[in-house]
Structure 1
Amino acid sequence: QIGLTEEEIITRISTLLDKGLIKRFGVVVRHHELGYQENAMVVWDVPDEQVHEIANQIKPYPFITLCYRRSRQLPEWRYNLYCMIHGKSRINVMQLLEEMVSEHNWHDIPREVLFSKRRFKQRAANYMSHAGCN
């Protein structure tokens, strides 16, 4: 519809990335409309020396859409690794989580499963330069 071949589009996007004019190129998927009615943030209390290893094992799963580390906020919040699981139902989400936990024998790693209660509008990240920060 825009009169360019796939190769031309990829070349133009690559050029923009190389010049630093765009940071990344991605899509926002509306999971709910695709039948994925439930999502849960799984928060893990992973030993600090294992965070990167475990995160790298979590990320390849197709049902994981986010995986990142955050600082603990002790004593109130001990969790330091977060991942988002999308599923067709809560049971499906829990089955996917159990599959991953069993495959890696992570039964002893403390975690909580936090299901979403409401949906927020999804939109792209808003980047600003350091000059724009006060």
Structure 2
Amino acid sequence: MVLATQDGLPITERPYHAVAETVGTSAEDVMARMTRLLNAGVIRRIGLVPNHYALGYRFNGMTVWDVADEHVAEAGRRVGGLDFVSHCYQRPRHLPDWPYSLFAMIHARERAVADQLVERIAECLGPLSRGHLVLFSSRILKKTGLRL
């Protein structure tokens, strides 16, 4: 099952049926197995992985925020709830050079729009933010998961 889906689900109207045909089982069995793998933590999620550059998003920025450890969970819930943030997670800070603990990814077609999104995150965090940076990507480094 993992080998049959590691490059992604087929882009069809009924992807689980297509996988079932490939591995010689039923679509219901494929869905049940995928659910078990998700519940066991073998698969973290099933979701779309868009190529933002191909969609015209040229300003893809990882925003990094210096938020006190005791407030990072609350800050993460706030920022992660914004509809334009595609990823939001906590990472360890590495003082004194890297004080940032909250990471949030944004995507925009124009730099001015990206700047507005960063400002909206800053407003959302308010005094919880003690500073931030935006690290704009210049190319796609990886868009795949583990390969068996």
Q: Of Structure 1 and Structure 2, which has the larger fraction of its residues in helix?
A: 2
Distance 1:101 1:21 in 2: 33
User: How many Å apart are 1:89 and its aligned residue?
Assistant: 1.6
User: How many Å apart are 1:2 and its aligned residue?
Assistant: 6.0
Residue 17, structure 1, aligned to residue 38, structure 2: yes
1:84 paired residue among 77, 95, 105: 105
User: How many Å apart are 1:58 and its aligned residue?
Assistant: 0.7
Do 1:64 and 1:85's aligned partners in 2 also have CA atoms closer than 8 Å?
yes
Name the % identity. Answer: 35
Structure 2: which amino acid aligns with 1:84?
M
Query: Are residues 74 and 23 of structure 1, via their aligned partners in 2, closer, same or farther at CA, if it must alter by over 3 Å?
Result: same
Query: Are residues 13 and 79 of structure 1, via their aligned partners in 2, closer, same or farther at CA, if it must alter by over 3 Å?
Result: same
Query: Are residues 61 and 114 of structure 1, via their aligned partners in 2, closer, same or farther at CA, if it must alter by over 3 Å?
Result: same
Query: Are residues 108 and 24 of structure 1, via their aligned partners in 2, closer, same or farther at CA, if it must alter by over 3 Å?
Result: closer
Structure 1 residues without counterparts, runs of 5 or longer: 128-134
Query: Are residues 45 and 25 of structure 1, via their aligned partners in 2, closer, same or farther at CA, if it must alter by over 3 Å?
Result: closer
Query: Are residues 2 and 75 of structure 1, via their aligned partners in 2, closer, same or farther at CA, if it must alter by over 3 Å?
Result: closer
Distance 1:57 1:113 in 2: 18
2:121 paired residue among 100, 103, 106: 100
Instruction: Report the equivalent of 1:43.
Output: 64
What SS class does the counterpart of residue 64 from structure 2 fall into?
Answer: strand
Query: Are residues 106 and 30 of structure 1, via their aligned partners in 2, closer, same or farther at CA, if it must alter by over 3 Å?
Result: farther
User: How many Å apart are 1:102 and its aligned residue?
Assistant: 2.3
RMSD over aligned CA atoms reads: 2.9
Query: Are residues 22 and 118 of structure 1, via their aligned partners in 2, closer, same or farther at CA, if it must alter by over 3 Å?
Result: same
User: How many Å apart are 1:73 and its aligned residue?
Assistant: 0.8
Distance 1:107 1:21 in 2: 32
**Deviations, residues 86-118 of structure 1 (Å, cap 9, x unaligned):** 111221111112123224435853111111123
- The 5-angstrom pairing of residues 1-134 of structure 1 reads 4=17, 8=28, 10-18=31-39, 20=40, 22-26=42-46, 27-106=48-127, 109-125=130-146
Structure 2: which amino acid aligns with 1:24?
R
Deviates more, 1:72-81 or 1:102-111: 102-111
Query: Are residues 107 and 55 of structure 1, via their aligned partners in 2, closer, same or farther at CA, if it must alter by over 3 Å?
Result: closer
Query: Are residues 70 and 15 of structure 1, via their aligned partners in 2, closer, same or farther at CA, if it must alter by over 3 Å?
Result: closer
Structure 2: which amino acid aligns with 1:56?
R
Do 1:63 and 1:87's aligned partners in 2 also have CA atoms closer than 8 Å?
no
